[in-house]
Amino acid sequence: MTAYKRILLKLSGESLMGDQEYGIDQQRLKEYAEQIKEIAEMGVQIGIVIGGGNIFRGLSGAANGFDRVKGDQMGMLATVINSLALNSALSAIGVKSKVLTAIRMEPVGEFYSKDKAIETLEKGEVAIFSAGTGNPYFTTDTGSSLRGIEIEADVMLKGTRVDGIYTADPEKDPSAKRFDKISFDDIYHRGLKVMDLTATTMCKENNLPIVVFNMDIKGNLKKVISGEDIGTLVHR
Ligand code: UDP
């Protein structure tokens, strides 16, 4: 028995860097693919959104003189690069997956539609949703809220490098405490930065719970799927 039948897994582009300063760390990518394989074998339907921050971010591009919309388009293309890398890493260990793109660009990936996404999931293949929402001024967190809601996922699993949501940034404040559970309203009231507000509000309004957990520890994804109490659950 698994705690969830259909999930939306959000991975940040930054975590794909591993210890590097830029790009994709092959070892980290392989470890993520292996964790995904473990839960695919449990029969869970898996949709994935990956960020692009390890390659390009529209906001930093704009700070360096790029037009914001062009910069965001570059960021969205960066998520496609990461999605192809994950697609290839999954394929190398025998897990079938399909890259769907929010911007039309066959033959790199098929153009996203809800029907195609559900068809892929029901065939037992992993669906990788790339290019975010397809629109500038959004983030891949919002892209994953959107896709998670569209595919009617039971939960959004936000894989990060910390093991949940804390009262303060645990990398800066050693006295920070982790929440086992927290409500959306509490996140707003405490001003906690779990995701951007657009992404958080979409989850709240459409009743998609979020689990924030440390994806960099092997076996953690399986633990969340098995219903073990790790990470922080964000609920209504
Ligand atoms: N982006 C966008 N629209 C979207 C999703 C992403 O314009 O719907 C762009 C935006 O410029 C963002 C970049 O893609 O900075 C990379 O995504 P994000 O920063 O969310 O990646 P992460 O921080 O998760 O690596």
How is the chain split into domains, by residue range?
6-235
- At 32-89, the pLDDT tens digits run 999 999 999 999 999 999 999 999 999 998 999 999 999 999 999 999 999 999 999 9
- Give residue 170's pLDDT: 83
User: Six-digit token pair at 207?
Assistant: 């009743």
Band of the pLDDT at 185, cuts 50, 70, 90?
A: very high
**Ligand 1 proximity of 209 Cβ (cutoff 6 Å):** no
User: Six-digit token pair at 211?
Assistant: 């689990």
Rounded to the nearest whole angstrom, what is the distance from the C-alpha of residue 13 to the centroid of ligand 1?
Answer: 9
79 is in an annotated binding site: no
Helix, strand or coil for residue 34? helix
Rounded to the nearest whole angstrom, what is the distance from the C-alpha of residue 72 to the centroid of ligand 1?
Answer: 7
CATH superfamily of domain region 6-235: Acetylglutamate kinase-like (3.40.1160.10)
Mean pLDDT estimate for the chain: 96
Q: Pairing state of beta strands 155-160 and 181-183?
A: unpaired
- pTM of the entire structure? 0.96
- Give residue 117's pLDDT: 98
- Give residue 55's pLDDT: 96
**Ligand 1 proximity of 11 Cβ (cutoff 6 Å):** no
Which one, of 166, 135, 196, 129, lies nearest residue 204 by Cα?
A: 196
User: What ipTM was estimated for this complex?
Assistant: 0.96
